[in-house]
Amino acid sequence: MKKETRNAWVELLHRLAPLLPADLFALLRSFPDPASLSAKEKRPCADCLQQAIQKLDSLHHKLTTYLPRYLLDLAPTPGEPHGELLEGSFIFADVTGFTALTGELSKRGAAGREEMNRLMRSLFGALLDPLLASGGDLLIFAGDAALAYFPARPDQPPGQDARWAARTALRLVQAITPFAHLETPYGDFSLTMSAGVERGPAFGAVVGTRRRMEFLISGGAIQGATAAEGEAEPNQVFAGPNIRAILSPAEFEMRGSVVAGIRGGKLDDYEAVPPARRRSRMSAIFSRRIPDLLEHLQQTLGRVEELTPFIPPDLFSQIARGEDIRQHPPVAIQFVNVMGLEDMALGPSGPEQAAAVLQRYFVQAQEIVTEREGIISQMDTYVKGFTLLNPFGAPTHHEGIPRLAASAALELARVLEQVNREFSLDPPLTQRTGMTYDRIFTGEIGYRHRREYVVAGPAVNLAARLMSKAEPGQIVLDPATWERVKEDFLADSLPPIPLKGIPEPVPRFNLRGLRQGKGLRLTDYPLAGREEELLMLEEQLRKASAGKGGALALIGEAGIGKSRLVAALAESARQQGMAVLSGGCRPFAKTTPYAPWEDLVARWFGLDAETPPQTRRRRLKQQLAQLDLTPSLPAFVDLLDLPAADLASRTPQFRQKTPAKSAPGLFAALQKQTEQQPERRQADAPGWAALTERVSKAKPDRVPSEWPFSKDGTTSIWQTLRERASIPQALHLALERQTRQRPTLLVIEDIQWIDTESRKILDDLTASAQTRPLFLLATARLDTIWQGEQLLLPPLSDAGSRDLAAFGLQATQLETELAAWLLARAGGSPLFILSYCRALRDADAVVVDPASDEARWSGPPPQLPLSLREILLAQVEQLDEQAQEVMQRGSVIGVAFPSWLITHLVHDALPSGQLGEALGRAARRSLVAPPPPGNIHAFSSHSLQDALYTTLSHAQRREWHEEVGDQLAQADEQTRYERLEQIAHHYSRSRNPHKAARFTRLAGDKARARQADEAALTFYAQTLDVSGDEGIAAEQRLAREGIGDVHALRSEGEAAIAAYQAALQESQSQDKRRLKTKLALLAPLVGPAKPKLLEEAQHALPASDPLRPWLGAALVWLYAGQGK
C-alpha cells in the first residue's frame, strides 16, 4: 500500500510541476510521501498543499479569461476530438493601417514595445466593451482583425442573433473612430475598421492531444462574413445575403447591402442581454487533513488541466512572468492555410468526419512544428479554410531557425498528402504557406473579464499576405527567409507582387525541397561553448580572403560537435562574401573513387541525383562553360557517372583493358633501351626524325586505325586520353578558376572514410592552399592521419554543456541538481547531451518553470542508459514497431536511404502505403531527416545508423544486404554502372558469393578505368577473397588480369607480369592469347625488348582486337629508335 501511495504522489508531482512556482514546488517535492508523514511534518505539508490549491484556483480563473465562452460552455475533454455545427450570426472586422503601425514600432526596441502594448490594450478595450455588452462572444482577436459570434438560441425570437450582430458591428466601427488620428512619438498613424456580418451554420471543432489542444470555428457563415468585409469600405458594415434578408428596413437603415445605421433609437441603447454564466472559484478549504487536501488539490488540478492544453506554451510562460507584450529577435513565421475542410463539415461527410480528419492533421502538425523549435500559436478561420500561425525560434534563437522552419513547411505538406490518402478524400484538402523572417511581438492583452493572445509585427503581416497570394501547394518565402536557407534548399523564383500595406512589390520564392545531401540534422542547434574555436577559424577565413589561404583538420570524436562548428563557420564565410563548397565521405564509400569530390561537385553545380542523367549532363556543361572549363567536360562526366557520347565505352565489360596511361612507361623503356645500344646511336636522329616527319605529313584519311596519333597528325593519343581521364587535373583546374573569381571555403567532412584517390587530391590542395584565397577545412575522427595543421576539438566545458542542455530541454537555464546529473553523464558530448535531453523529455522527468525558464526535475531522476549507443537506441524504442522495423532495415542501406529502395526492403513487413507514415513518425522525433525532392531520407547521425546496424544478427544483415544489392542492380545499364560501388558493397556483405565476386570485379574495372588505382586493387582483392565454384574462379581470373592492368598503368612491370602470369595459369584458351600479348608488351619494362615476340603477338591477334594498336605503336617506337 505504501508503494502505491508513493507512486501516486510521484505522479501528482509530475502533473503539478509545470503549474506551480518553483519555490512552492520545491517544498512539495521535499516531502517523500504525504501519507506517511509524522505529526510534526504534517503541518508544513498541509500549508504547502493549501498554497498549491490556492495557486491553482487563481490560475484556473485567469485561464478562463483567455478562452471564448463557446469553448468554456463546451467543456471538452483534453485529447478527445469533437466536431459539430454551430448556428448563429458572425461578425468579421478588419483594421486597416495596422501593418504600417506595427512595422514602425518594431524598429523602436523597448520603447516601441511599450507603445505597442498601450495601443493594443486601448484597441482591444474599445472593441471588447461594446461586444460583451451586446451579448457577443469574442472568438478571435489578432490585433488587426476580430471574429465574434452570436449564437442562435431557441429561447430567443427568430433572427434575434442577426439583429444583435448587425447592431454590434455598427458599434465596433464607431468604437474605433478615435483611432483614426493616432499621434505617437514615432509619427502619426490612422486606424480604420470595416466589418462584415452573415448568418448561417459554421463548423466547430476541438482537436489535439492532452498536451496541446486547439479549437476551430470555420466555414459557412464565417466565410460569408469574411467575404462581406472584403466588400466593405472603411467605416462600413456590409451584410451578407442571409443576414440581409432578416434585417428589417424599419429597424435598420440599409443602403443596398451596407448597414448604414439603426432606426428608432441609438447605438448606445444596448439589448437586454442575459448575464453570462459565472464561473466560480473553488469553494473555501475547511479541512486541513492531508487526505482531504490531496483530494481538493486533485479536483482543482483537474479543472486547470482541462484548460491548459488550449493555452500556447509561450503564452503560458508570459502569463507566469506577468509580461504584457514581448518583442522577439528575428524569428521565422509560417502562415499555413488549409482549405477544403469546411466543405466536408457542411456537406454529406458531416462535422464528425471533418473533426477526425482535422485531428489527424493537427496532431502530426503539432509534432512537426514542436520538434523544429516552433509552436502553433493560433488556429484561425480564413476566407477559405483555416490557418495555422507558427512562430519558430522564440524565445531561443539561433541561425538554424529558418532552416528548421523551411523543413517543417515541407513536412506539413507531406502530412496533408498522407491525410488525404488515409481518408481517401475527394476532392483532397489543399494547403498553401507563406514564410517570413523578421521581428515579432507576442503577448497577452487584457481588459476586464476577457484577455487575448496576439502575435503581431511585420513578419506576421507579410507572411499572411504571401500566403494569401500563393497557389495551392506552394510554400512562398520572402527574400530574408530565402537568403538564410538557399544553401540547403531548392526554390523557384516567382514574380514580385504588390501587397497591401507594403510600398514596393515583394520578391517571392517557391520552396521545392532540400538540396542534394542536405537534411535536418543535429547540427541545427545553437553553437554553445565553441566561441574560441570559431574565432580562430574565422581568422583563417580572413587570411584566405586576403589571398593567404591554408588548410586545417578539425579533429574530434563522434558527436563532439565538428559538423555544428563547420556549419557556423560556413555561415560566417557566406556573410563575408566567400563561396562555400562542401563534400562528405561515407563509410561504405571508402573504396568508391572520388566519392567526396563527386558529392562536392554535385552540390556545387546543383546536380540533383534524381534528375535524369541527360539533364544533369546538360546542366554540367552549362556550369563548366561559366568557368571556361568546357574541355574538362569528359572528366566531370566520368566523375559524376553521367552518360558519355558512347554509353558502351563507359561500361566496364566493354572497356578496353589497357587504358592509355600505360603507354608512356612502355615507350620510355623502349627509347631508353635503343639509346643504350652503341651501334644504334648514329641512327637515332634519322630514325626519330623520319618518324616525326611521317607523322607531320600524314593525312587524316590515310592514318591507320592503330596509329598512336590523332588523325590531324598533331596531338598524341596518350595526351588526349590522359586529359579526358584526368579527374584530379579537372578538379584542380575548376577550383583554381573558382578561387580566382571569389575567396572560397572548401569543406571535406569525415575524412576518416576518404578513399585513396580522393586523399591524394586533398593532400595536393592542402599543399597549394597557401598560395590561393582558399581555406580548406577537413573534419575527422580521432586517430585519423593528417600531416598538416590540426585543431583538436575537446569536450564542451561545463558552461557550454549547461547552455546546450538548456536548449535541449527548451529552457534558458538548469537547476543545479539537474545540471550536475546531466554533466556527470554526458561528458561534454553535444550529441550525448541532446540525446539525454530528448530522453528526459520523453520520460516527463523535467519541467520548465514558466516564470523563470529554468528546467528542473519534476520528480525523482529516471533510470536511463549510460552509453550513447544505448541512449540512441532508447529513442528508437519510443517508436512503434513498424517505424522501428523501417529504421533497422534502413540502417542496412546506409546513413542515407532512398524512399524507393526502403519501400522494396520493407514490403514484407509493412502494409502498402504505411511506409510514409512510419518514416514521418521517425522524422517528427528527429531520428531521420525529412526527404528532399528526390525522396532520400537520412539518419540524424552516423552514430544512430551504426547503433541500429549493430542490433541486427549476422544472418539478417546478409539477407537484407543481398536484397538491397538486387534492387540496386535491377536497373538500366547506365544506372547500374553509376551504382556499381554500392552494389559491390552490399553483395560483398551478402550471403551470395557469385554476386559478390562478379560485382566487386566490375567495380574494380570501373575504378581502374577512372585511374583510381588503389580503389581498383581493393575491389579486386575482395573478389579474390571470395571462395566458391568455377563461376567465381572465372571472375577471379579477370580480377587478376585487372590487377595486372593497374600495375601496368603505373609502369610496375614485375608486379603486372606476376599478375598476368597468375591469370594465365588459370585461364581458358580464348583468354591466354590476350594475356600472352600483354606479357609481350610488358617485356621491355623488365628486360631487353624483343621485336620478334611483339610481331608474333600482333600476327596472332585479329585486326579488330583492341590490343593490336598498342602492339603496332610499340613496334613503330622500337624500330624508329633503331633507325628503321
3-state helix/strand/coil string of 694-728: HHHHCCHHHCCCCCCECCCCCCEHHHHHHHHHCHH
Residue 1025 counted as domain residue? yes
Range from 6-20, 175-189, 1063-1077 carrying the lowest mean pLDDT: 1063-1077
Assess if residue 58 is contained within a domain.
yes
Task: Say which CATH number the domain at 594 has.
Answer: 3.40.50.300
Does 493 lie in the same domain as 367? yes
Q: What is the mean pLDDT of residues 532-559?
A: 93
Domain ends where: 825, 849, 864? 864
Q: How confident is the model at residue 62 (pLDDT cuts 50, 70, 90)?
A: confident
Residue 383 is predicted with a pLDDT of 85
Q: What is the pLDDT of residue 447?
A: 64
Structure confidence by residue, pLDDT tens digits, 368-401: 898 788 889 889 888 889 999 999 886 566 677 8
Q: Is the pLDDT of residue 718 over 60?
A: no
Domain final residue, candidates 466, 483, 514:
514
Would residue 966 count as lying in a domain? no
Let me know whether 404 and 449 are in one domain: yes
Q: Does residue 342 sit in the same domain as residue 241?
A: no
903 domain residue, yes or no = no
Average pLDDT estimate for 297-311: 91
pLDDT given for residue 791 in this prediction: 94
pLDDT single digits (tens) 178-197? 998 888 888 888 899 999 99
**205 and 153 co-located in one domain:** yes
The whole-number pLDDT of residue 326 equals 59
Residue given cell 486541513 in the structure block: 288
The verdict on residue 633 lying in a domain is yes
pLDDT the model gives residue 164: 93
Q: Tell me the C-alpha distance between 1104 and 1109, whole Å.
A: 10
- Does residue 768 share a domain with residue 642? yes
Backbone Cα Rg of the chain: 37
454 beta partners? 443
Q: Are residues 10 and 141 in the same domain?
A: no
Identify whether residues 444 and 508 lie together within a single domain: yes
Q: How confident is the model at residue 478 (pLDDT cuts 50, 70, 90)?
A: very high
The answer to whether the beta carbons of residues 119 and 126 sit under 8 Å apart is no
**Res. 471: pLDDT tops 70:** yes
| Same domain assignment for residues 563 and 586 | yes
1036-1051 pLDDT, tens digit per residue, is 999 999 999 898 878 8
Structural domain count of the chain: 6
Report yes or no on 280 lying in a domain: no
pLDDT at residue number 51:
93
Close Cβ partners of 586 (under 8 Å, ≥ 6 residues apart) = 595, 750, 753, 894, 895, 896
Residue 259 banded pLDDT, cuts 50, 70, 90: very high
- Whether residues 587 and 503 share a domain: the answer is no
Tell how many helices (H) and how many strands (E) occur in the chain: 44, 29
Q: Both 298 and 355 in a single domain?
A: no
503 shares its domain with 443: yes
Spatial distance between the Cα atoms of 809 and 837, rounded to a whole number of angstroms: 6
Of the three residues 197, 230, 262, the one that is the final residue of a domain is 262
CA distances from 1085 to 1043, 1060, 1106 (A): 17, 14, 21
Q: What is the CATH number of the domain that holds 398?
A: 3.30.70.1230
- Does residue 219 belong to any structural domain of this protein? yes
Provide the pLDDT for residue 286: 67
What integer pLDDT is reported at residue 711 of this predicted model? 34
pLDDT of 25 over the 60 cut: yes
pLDDT above 80 for 703: no
pLDDT of residue 947: 87
Task: Inform me whether the pLDDT recorded for 297 exceeds 90.
Answer: yes
Cα end-to-end distance, the chain, whole Å: 110
Average pLDDT over residues 1030-1035: 88
How far is the C-alpha of 1006 from the C-alpha of 1019, rounded, in Å?
A: 10
- The whole domain housing 51 covers 2-66+286-307
Same domain, 87 and 102: yes
With respect to residue 878, please indicate whether it lies within any of the assigned structural domains. Answer: no
Q: Label the pairing between strands 550-555 and 475-477.
A: unpaired
